A = this chain, B = another copy of it.
């Protein structure tokens, strides 16, 4: 964490990078206090606004937290699962939304990863997880539920399944895959019949989790993936066949 070449372009990015490297290499550890903005400005031979821009970059990635007042400053922040979660969802959502990722590709990735949780979920699911899954199934069956609310409940159900695996790293990684799909799922209109099919599969998953039968969860997830992709295709086909009248 020393120098910037006298290349006067992107000074704040260079400084942010230097500090980020120091954090990732372990030279700076959680709780450490960075020098004050004035000291950093002197150290890097730049002005205070430039230092501040660098610090804001780091703050945007939850690498530091700042505190005002005497003996305040910028402190290395412990990246919580919560923060990592939020960043993961933001990044995944944008990646899917901006890159014309096909529904099939996203769906395939999501269910592949979710099936990876099935065995562990069967092994470790708690009564709490089961209760959450049952509650969401009940909600999904309520009449008058909007498509958006149905999707939100679907996400909550699958989150419960993922969390049941009892591995926070897995939960964090899956958060992006499951939640980033929601904008894509919201483009689908769910008929009463397709809702019924989904709910039935959710019930089979919950039953299998209760019976601690991982293979059964996987089988149900495979059916769910198949149904979802077919439903999406039929919706998109119908939409393509009838171009918007405008």
* A interface residue numbers (CB < 8 A to B): 12-13, 16, 20, 23-24, 26, 30, 49, 52-54, 56-61, 63, 78-81, 84, 87-88, 90-99, 101, 105-106, 108-110, 112-113, 115-117, 119-120, 165, 167-170, 172-173, 176-177
Main secondary structure of the interface of A (DSSP, over half): helix
Q: Which residue of B lies closest to A88 (CB)?
A: B91
Roughly how many angstroms separate A3 CA and B243 CA in the complex, as a whole number? 37
> Which of B56, B81, B167 is A57 in contact with, Cβ under 8 Å?
B56
> Which of B13, B61, B81, B120 is A108 in contact with, Cβ under 8 Å?
B120
> Which of B23, B58, B115, B167 is A116 in contact with, Cβ under 8 Å?
B115
Q: Which residue of B lies closest to A89 (CB)?
A: B24
Q: What residues of chain B lie closer than 8 Å to A84, measured between beta carbons?
A: 91-92, 94-95
Q: Which residue of B lies closest to A30 (CB)?
A: B98
> Which of B49, B60, B101 is A61 in contact with, Cβ under 8 Å?
B60
How many monomers of this chain does the complex have? 2
> Which of B98, B109, B110, B167 is A79 in contact with, Cβ under 8 Å?
B98
Q: List 8 A-B contacts (CB under 8 A).
A: A30-B98, A57-B60, A84-B95, A95-B172, A105-B169, A109-B167, A113-B170, A115-B116
> 4 smallest A-B Cβ distances: which pairs?
A57-B60, A116-B116, A109-B169, A60-B60
Q: What residues of chain B lie closer than 8 Å to A54, measured between beta carbons?
A: 56
Roughly how many angstroms separate A155 CA and B101 CA in the complex, as a whole number? 26
Which of A16, A60, A172 has the most chain B CB atoms closer than 10 A to its own CB? A60
Q: What residues of chain B lie closer than 8 Å to A116, measured between beta carbons?
A: 112-113, 115-116
Q: Which residue of B lies closest to A57 (CB)?
A: B60
**A79-B91, A93-B24, A105-B168 known; A58+B61 contact, CB < 8 A:** no
Decide if A99 touches B78 in the complex (CB within 8 Å). Answer: yes
Roughly how many angstroms separate A24 CA and B91 CA in the complex, as a whole number? 10
Roughly how many angstroms separate A168 CA and B224 CA in the complex, as a whole number? 22
